[in-house]
Structures are given as structure tokens and as C-alpha cells.
Chains A and B, each alone.
Chain A
Amino acid sequence: MNEKTMRKAKFGAFLSRASVPMMFIIICALCIPIAGLSPNYLVNEIVTRMGRNSFLILSLLIPIMAGMGLNFGMTLGAMAGEIGLILVSDWQIVGIPGMVLAMIISVPISILLGLFCGKILNMAKGREMITSYIISYFINGVYQLVVLYLMGSVIPIKHGSIKLPRGYGIRNTVSLLNMRQHLDNLIPLNIKGVKVPVATFIVIAVLCLVIVWFRRTKLGQDMRAVGQDMEVARDAGINVERTRIISIIISTVLAGIGMVIYLQNMGNIATYSAHSQIGMFCIAALLVGGASVDKASIGNVFLGVILFHLMFIVAPRAGAYITGDSMIGEYFRVFVSYAVITIALVMYETNKRRVKSMEGERLRLDQEKEGKDE
């Protein structure tokens, strides 16, 4: 009987975990034939988007491990990456060296921003997600101050193609044509018309290995302990606050590097908007892959990228076919990405409350039993 209940509970937990990916698999399965896109095109798009987005989404795993939920503050790292790329574009450093230099420039900025974000999140324990979300808006203001007013006036910017005609501030779009897809095309591979960005996948694979290795290190174990129970971790001698700050710093630094990889694939920077959407889409993709606020794996990242972006590709065409208006499909994919985040957050809170009430119920039963025994 006990075993049966346990099995039932396990199946229930699996269902609740797999419900979002299942829903997306069904949506994609319905939309793909309607969209009428060729399999080759779909595979090509998915492979490109995997290379473009996976690194960014992987940056979200470490704060989840440390129990800090979904790091909306990854936007901070994205801004650091953009600053690196703007400077490198102005200095005319091109190709792979330009990319690596942009990453190097982004790292100290990301560390500082991550440190700041981590310190604030330590003051708002239990409300990390909403706090990091609001911090991203705050830092966006600082970013705009730097990019719109200080660049060109205080920070030297030479090129007219980057600078606004008034003499300071950066244009809405900065071209990255001289480093566009340089990493993707570093090791060219074409399998039956599908362009595989081998070098980008190698970088992503290395990060996956680093994450697996990191989980086994002392710091990784500390993060998991902090993620499970902060008080127990503190009693065990772990410096909880420091561990949490480090997890946010690592996430922010990885997000900065990920943003450089993302933008080299795109070939241009939308200076004032690229970073603001990226956090939301990465988090939505991770959740679509079956991750939750307190549990996420590398597998969730890749499943999420495939399903989320598959929907991104087929939904507009399917919407156009069904309603005659492709904008319906656009609305659909935007609404779904926000809805997924909402559902995931609601499910997380519901589960947390259910676990708490179950624990309370168990305690009450135990006390009743003890009373009867006496």
C-alpha cells in the first residue's frame, strides 16, 4: 500500500515536471505540419539557435543550484557583454580575437555587477527572483547613462558609424559584421545542407563539462547545501552569503560571455533592447525544457532550446495559415513565453505550500498518535 502511494506520488511529480514540455511537444507537433516548413529548414534553424542560445541558458543553472531561483539578473551580464562588444567594435578588433577581447572586457564588469546583485539578493532572501528582475531595470538605467551619455563624451568613441551624430551616445544598432558568425564558421561542417556550428558547440560542451565538474567541487557542494536549506548549511559551517554571491557572480560572468556568443551569431547589437528581452526568453526556454525554480539540469537547457525555438519558428507560419495573419502567430509565441514563466512560478509556489501543509498534517498526525499512546 505504502509502495503504491509512493509510486503514485512519484508519477504525480513526474507528470507535474513534464507537463510543460509535453504541452510544447503537442503544440509543436500540431504546428509543424500546418506551418509546412521543410525538415531541412527546421533542423537548420534549430541547430543555429542551439548554438546561439545554449550558453546563455546554461548560465542560469548555477543560481538555481544555490537555491536562488531563476536569475533575472543575467541581464546584467548581457549588458556587460554588449559594452565589451561596443568598445571592441570601436577599436576595430575583428574576428575571433575581437570576440575574446569583448569577453575579457565583459568579465570585470560582470563581476562587479554580479557582486552588487548578489549583495542585494542576500538582503532579500526568499524574494530573489522579483528582486533580481527589478535590479535588471535599475542597472538598465545605469547602462543607458553609460551608453547614451558617457560613451563618446567621457569614454572615447571614435567611429561615426557607432556614435550618434550629436557627438556622444551610441546608435540604436551597432554592426558586428566583422565578427559575424566567426565562431560558428571556425570549424565548418555541413551535413546534408544543415550548417553545424562545431566550434560554438565545443564551447558549449566545455561549459557543460565545467558545470558537471563544478557540482562535485567543494564550492559546488556548498551551493547545493545552501540551495537545500540555508540554516542547515550555515550550521554546517558554510558561509551562506558568500556562497550565494559567488553563484550570482558566476552566472553573470557566464551571461556576459554568452551574450557575446549570441550577438556574434546575430551580427549586430540592438544597443538599447537586446539585453532586456534575453533574460525573459532564456528563462522561458529553460522552463519549457522541464526545469523548475528550484531544479534544473543541462538536459532541461537543450530540450528547452529545441522546443521553445521550434515553437518560435513554426508558430508565425501556423498562425498565418490558420488565421491568415502572421501577427497572430507572433502574439501567440510571445504570450506563450510569458505564460510559461507565470505557470512555472505558480506551480512552484503551489508545490511549496502543498509540501508545507503536508508536513504540518504529518506533524499533527504524529502528535495525535503520541497523545493516544500516552
Chain B
Amino acid sequence: MNNKKKLSVRSLIVRIVALAAVIALAVILAVIGRGHTVYFDNKKLDADGTSYDPFYKVEVFVNDKSVAKLSEGDRGMVPVMGQDFKMVLHITPKKGSKKVGSAVSMKLPYNIDGIVLNLPALLSGAAEDVYMDEFIPTPTAEEETEDVVITDEFALPSDE
């Protein structure tokens, strides 16, 4: 009887530990698997009385892959996973000038889906709230049309 009680306590502990492990795994997955879309702006930005001029050309590499080639006023994007973001920028500041390489790494905010980075401001050492902004998508016409949801496959056609 006592043995049985011991066994059930042990199995209860094992179950609680297993459940806790699964919940912990789920939390870890939710953190490391969080997807963001990072947008790179090579645009002029005026903030706090300072003007950040765009570069002549910028090529953005993420995970050793070229993800965007930006001229003045261009925007590029890349979907990324997790909050640790690293990119390498090949910058041509002015027409005819030499290419300059720059590695940038930063923490992305967890709760923002689309993050806009203004590259001239970022590379000029501006504050995070200056170079970083949230991308708010405008719903497309397709998104605004209501889907016809068929829920009853046995439904008879109505007489209306």
C-alpha cells in the first residue's frame, strides 16, 4: 500500500517535471523562433535637428547572402528569425568613392513584427529610437475583402 503511494508520488513528480520541461521548451521555441521582417531604408532622415543623408549605394549581407542592393531612397527587406540580428554592409558613400565595409549587430525588439532601420542614421551612431521604427502595413484590397466561408458542406442551395 505504502509502496503504491510512493510510486504514485514519484510518477506525479515525473509528470510535473515532464510538463514543466515541455512548457520550458515551448517558451524557448517561442523566443528563438520569433520571426521579424527587417526593412533597410537608404533614405534621408531628419530627426532632432540633425539630417542624415543617404549613401550612394549600399549592399546588405545577412548570413553571408546579399539580401538588398540599395540606391538612394531605396528600401530593402529580409525575414529573420530570433532577436540577434547581424548584417554586413558594403557602402559606397558617394559616386566614385571607395566601398567601405561595416558589420552591424543588434537586438531586435521581440514584440515588433516589421522593423524599419534607417541605415544612414544607424551608421552615424544615432539613438535607437531615431534609426529604428515600426513598419505598419496598410491592408491590401485582397485583405479587406471578406472571405466566403463555407461551413456546411451538406447545405442545400437556398431558394433566395
CB distance from A183 to the nearest CB of B (A): 13
Smallest CB gap from A178: residue in B: B35
Q: How far is the CB of A29 from chain B (nearest CB, A)?
A: 35
One of A44-52, A163-171, A191-199 at the interface: A163-171
User: Is B147 a contact partner of A104 (Cβ separation < 8 A)?
Assistant: no
With A94-B79, A178-B79: A165-B146 Cβ-Cβ less than 8 Å = yes
A104 touches B149 (CB 8 A): no
Residue in B closest to A169 when the chains form the complex, CB atoms: B149
Q: Which of B22-30, B69-77, B91-99 contacts its partner?
A: B22-30
Residue in contact with A101 in the complex, picked from B33, B145, B147, CB distance below 8 Å:
B33
Contact check, B151 vs A272: say whether CB atoms are below 8 A apart.
Answer: yes
- State the total of A-B contacts with C-beta under 8 angstroms: 68
Considering the chains assembled together, what is the distance between the CA atoms of A97 and B26 in angstroms?
A: 9
**Residue contact B143 to A97, C-beta cutoff 8 Å:** no
Residues of B with C-beta under 8 A to A172: 147-149
**B150 in contact with A165 (CB, 8 Å):** no
Cα–Cα distance between A148 and B139 once the two chains are bound (Å):
20
8 Å CB interface, A143-171 against B? 144, 148, 159-161, 164-166, 169, 171
Q: Which of B128-153 contact A (CB under 8 A)?
A: 137, 139, 143-151, 153
Residue B113, interface by CB 8 Å: yes
Residues of chain A contacted by B139 (CB below 8 angstroms): 160, 165
Given A104-B25, A104-B29, check contact A95 B146 (CB 8 Å). no
Contact A101 B151 (CB under 8 A): no
Tell whether, in the assembled complex, residue B29 and residue A100 are in contact, meaning their CB atoms are under 8 Å apart: yes
Interface string of A259-288 (1 = CB under 8 A from B): 000000000000011001000000000000
A101 in contact with B30 (CB, 8 Å)? yes
Q: Is A92 located at the chain interface by the 8 A CB criterion?
A: yes
Residues of chain A lying within 8 A (CB to CB) of residue B29: 93, 97-98, 100-101, 104
Proximity bits, A85-103, B CB within 8 Å = 1, else 0 = 0000001111111101100
Given A101-B26, A104-B25, A272-B151, A95 and B35 contact (CB-CB distance below 8 Å): yes
Neighbouring B residues of A171 by C-beta, 8 Å? 147
| Contact A161/B149 with A92-B34, A100-B29 known, Cβ cut-off 8 Å | no
Choose among A92, A100, A165, A273 the residue that contacts B35 (Cβ–Cβ < 8 A). A92
The answer on a CB contact under 8 Å between A98 and B33 is: yes
Bound: A166/B139 CA distance, A: 13
Whether, in the assembled complex, B12 has its beta carbon less than 8 Å from a beta carbon of chain A, the answer is no
Given contacts A91-B30, A97-B33, A98-B33, 12 further A-B contacts (CB under 8 A): A92-B35, A93-B29, A93-B30, A93-B34, A94-B33, A95-B35, A100-B25, A100-B29, A164-B146, A165-B143, A165-B144, A273-B150
| Contacts from B to A (Cβ < 8 Å) | 22, 25-26, 29-30, 32-36, 79, 81, 113, 137, 139, 143-151, 153
Q: What residues make up the interface of A, taking CB atoms closer than 8 Å to B?
A: 91-98, 100-101, 104-105, 144, 148, 159-161, 164-166, 169, 171-172, 178, 272-273, 276
Could you jot down 7 A-B contacts, CB within 8 Å? A92-B34, A92-B36, A94-B34, A97-B30, A101-B26, A165-B143, A165-B144
